[in-house]
Amino acid sequence: MPDLRIEREHTLGLDGARLVADRWREQAEQDWGMTCSLEPGEAVDRMRFERSGVSGELSVSASRFDMQIKLGFLLGAYSSKIEEKIQANLDALLGPVV
């Protein structure tokens, strides 16, 4: 199973990062058919997501996003395109880094 790891630093603070993570969750559920569950924390929130052939976790803190994704066999062949799409999506949600 191919694994993807996408990391982004930001200056949004935890509340701003939570808003971005919530928008990402909405897109993941609506556009990609993911099932998402959130485990809020004091310093780091963890959002687990899954659908057939994909599972992962998005960790959200006051200064960074850390996404780990496991792709099943069939989607593994498209891992570079999937990674590219997720990176572009996350970059668009985060906006320019200051």
Is 34 within a domain? yes
Q: What is the CATH number of the domain that holds 67?
A: 3.30.160
DSSP line for 41-62: -SS-EEEEEEETTEEEEEEE-S
Tens digit of each residue's pLDDT (9 = 90 or more) over 39-93:
999 999 999 999 999 999 999 999 999 999 999 999 999 999 999 999 999 999 9
Is 21 within a domain? yes
Q: Which residue has the higher pLDDT, 79 or 96?
A: 79
Range of the domain at 17: 3-93
Is 26 within a domain? yes
What is the pLDDT at residue 98? 47
pLDDT over threshold 90, residue 1: no
Is 98 within a domain? no
Question: Based on the structure, what is the number of domains in the chain?
Answer: 1
Is 11 within a domain? yes
Residues 59 and 67: their CA atoms lie apart, in Å, by 6
Is 53 within a domain? yes
| pTM, entire model | 0.89
Tens digit of each residue's pLDDT (9 = 90 or more) over 9-50:
999 999 999 999 999 999 999 999 999 999 999 999 999 999
Is 36 within a domain? yes
DSSP line for the chain: --EEEEEEE-SSHHHHHHHHHHHHHHHHHHHH--EEEEE--SS-EEEEEEETTEEEEEEE-SSEEEEEEEE-HHHHTTHHHHHHHHHHHHHHHH----
Is 82 within a domain? yes
pLDDT over threshold 60, residue 97: no
32-to-17, 41, 64 alpha-carbon distances in Å: 21, 26, 23
What is the pLDDT at residue 18? 96
